Structure 1
Amino acid sequence: MTPGTAPGTARVRDAAPADAAAVAGLEQRNLGIDAWSEGLVAEAVANRLPTLRVLVAEAEEQVVGFAVASIVAGTAELQRIAVDRAHRRSGLAGALLARVRELAVDGGADRLLLEVREDNAGAIAFYETQGFGEVGRRRRYYKDGATAVVLALGLPRTELA
């Protein structure tokens, strides 16, 4: 698989303003009560939030997944990631995460953090297979009072030329 591509006919690319509605729809369907507003999604996709980078996964010219990451002061954080139900278990989440890792390393981050609901066993298992480990918990982190598990992945250092 080459950078920016995923298994099959899918590819990962930077989001464009025209992707805002598709990303907002995925956000609502996948993240429910914790979803960002359509306005915030539009701001992020339009690149108006300087610390955020939004990626989309496309299959058959349709946006079927997305990831939002930030890199600040040597730490990268995966803010959001979601793949449409019909395209899960196809490698798209892994492809999005791999691209986030590349961006984090290129941005000088030495680790990648994320939060995941403690009751989301499937996501936790996925992140563990990707090399993440638990570093903490945030009680009552989500709007419904659920606890977040904080996971971290160490990133390789790049040598400056």
Structure 2
Amino acid sequence: MTEPAAPRVRIRRMTYQDLPAVMKLEREIFPEDPWTEGMMRGELDEQPRTRHYLVATDGDEIVGYAGLAAAGDQADVQTIAVRAGHRRAGIGRTLMAELLEEAVRRGAEAVFLEVRADNTPAQTMYERFGFERIGVRRRYYADGTDAYTMMKKLR
């Protein structure tokens, strides 16, 4: 696995036991449009067959999480989130690097994602990883905000 972002932060595979803490973070980070526990549980049901979900921990506390869907030659970043007080410490970059490594291991040729049009920090991080904006999904989020679709070619 990629080197952790901060000395105390560790990255590991998400488990069902992580769901209460992950769902609390989900509602905190995405209050306008959070996933439901059922949606997240459904993603974990597909792990490791077509999904790869990670958590970032600082001691016993989950401070971030991320997920990848991969099938055939395509992968999609399903989610990536870091608690506000832990941002800009490299956790998001570490999670993204892990997802991209997994996409390569699974034989993906390209990785796709959607990002809120008003989330400039996330867009900047994705661009640093080589993602390019390829389209817009109008009113994609529950509050009516557009999403940019982005892609990174792996091969």
1:154 matched to which residue of 2?
153
- The secondary structure found in structure 2 opposite 1:18 is helix
- The secondary structure found in structure 1 opposite 2:5 is coil
Asked whether the equivalents of residues 27 and 36 of structure 1 are also in contact (C-alpha less than 8 Å), the reply is yes
Asked whether the equivalents of residues 77 and 113 of structure 1 are also in contact (C-alpha less than 8 Å), the reply is yes
Matched, 1:48 2:45: yes
State the 1:79 CA deviation: 0.9
- The secondary structure found in structure 2 opposite 1:33 is coil
Q: Which runs of 5+ in 1 are unaligned?
A: 157-161
Rounded to whole Å, the distance in 1 between the matches of 2:40 and 2:54 is 12
Q: CA RMSD in A?
A: 1.5
Give the 4+ runs in structure 1 shifted more than 4 A. Answer: none
Moved more, 76-85 or 138-147: 138-147
State the 1:9 CA deviation: 1.1
TM-score, L = length of structure 2: 0.91
Q: Output one character per residue of 1:8-27: Cα deviation in whole Å (capped at 9) or x when no partner.
A: 21111101121111111111
For residue 143 of structure 2, what is the amino acid of its counterpart?
Answer: D
State the 1:4 CA deviation: 5.8
State the 1:38 CA deviation: 1.9
1:118 matched to which residue of 2?
117
Aligned length: 153
For residue 30 of structure 1, what is the amino acid of its counterpart?
Answer: I
2:31 matched to which residue of 1?
32
Asked whether the equivalents of residues 74 and 108 of structure 2 are also in contact (C-alpha less than 8 Å), the reply is yes
- The secondary structure found in structure 2 opposite 1:32 is coil
Task: Provide the identity percentage.
Answer: 37
Asked whether the equivalents of residues 54 and 66 of structure 2 are also in contact (C-alpha less than 8 Å), the reply is yes
For residue 121 of structure 1, what is the amino acid of its counterpart?
Answer: T
Q: Output one character per residue of 1:94-152: Cα deviation in whole Å (capped at 9) or x when no partner.
A: 00000000110001101111100111111111211221111111112111221110111
1:20 matched to which residue of 2?
19
1:159 matched to which residue of 2?
none
| Structure 1 residues 23 and 4: CA distance shift in structure 2, 3 A | farther
State the 1:39 CA deviation: 2.5
Rounded to whole Å, the distance in 2 between the matches of 1:8 and 1:151 is 31
Asked whether the equivalents of residues 6 and 12 of structure 1 are also in contact (C-alpha less than 8 Å), the reply is no
1:5 matched to which residue of 2?
4
Rounded to whole Å, the distance in 1 between the matches of 2:12 and 2:60 is 12
Asked whether the equivalents of residues 65 and 92 of structure 1 are also in contact (C-alpha less than 8 Å), the reply is yes
Asked whether the equivalents of residues 4 and 91 of structure 2 are also in contact (C-alpha less than 8 Å), the reply is no
Asked whether the equivalents of residues 63 and 86 of structure 2 are also in contact (C-alpha less than 8 Å), the reply is yes
